[in-house]
Amino acid sequence: MSTDAHCNTLDSTCIHNSASAGTCKTASAACDYATSAACTFSLAGQCKWNGETCGLNSAFTSCANIVLTTAGWTTANCEGVLYSCKKDTGDACIAKACADYTKTDGLSTGTTAVSTDAHCSTLDSTCTIDLSSGAVKCQTRQANCTGYTAIGTCTKATEGNCIWNSASNSGSGACEVVSATNCNLKTGANLTDTDCATHNAACIPNRAATAC
């Protein structure tokens, strides 16, 4: 079975032939292939299918470049070109907001739900996790932890990891940046030095090992 990489190793001007399994063919000078299967590589560079036509991969970095006049303007079709796109209210694809990401592959039809900051920041560097009950999804990362107003959203800010202090704000609670001054907010059972150090390097367990 041939691949672009295998064919290119044999001859730098060759790619796999999608119309004939196990064979190679000369790459086109430009990304002018007629099918998505053939739209892989040209002598001009890497190619990408934009929904209906083939073009240089570097040209399809924006949702606005996607064309779905024939295929149909749906979020699934927008995602088929760029996972970061969704259907606009009209006939166009637009960039997703952080809250649109609920699956680790970025697709609305994905199977694995996001659950960590890493999941969200991998999809979009401006996103972090929102652990609000019943609505786990990504959210826009705030510059400071004080930008979050609910316990479920109090996860991570640009300034660092966040933690909810239920005693702050006259008992209403507030989101704070994790630091050596709020070690006591890290609670649990049989806490170890390692457990507390994950909160802040200056934290250690109390005598009962129930808080840092």
Do residue 189 and residue 168 come from a single domain? no
Do residue 138 and residue 113 come from a single domain? yes
Do residue 105 and residue 169 come from a single domain? yes
pLDDT tens for 19-55 read 777 788 888 888 888 888 888 888 887 787 877 788 8
Cα gap 8→102, rounded to integer Å: 38
Do residue 85 and residue 120 come from a single domain? no
Mean local confidence (pLDDT), 141-163: 96
Do residue 41 and residue 107 come from a single domain? no
Do residue 40 and residue 105 come from a single domain? no
Residue 156 near residue 129, CB atoms below 8 Å: yes
Do residue 116 and residue 135 come from a single domain? yes
Do residue 90 and residue 148 come from a single domain? no
Domain residues for 82? 63-96
Number of domains in the chain: 4
Residue 161, judged by CB atoms within 10 A of its CB (0-12, 13-18, 19+), counts as middle
pLDDT tens for 8-25 read 787 777 877 777 777 888
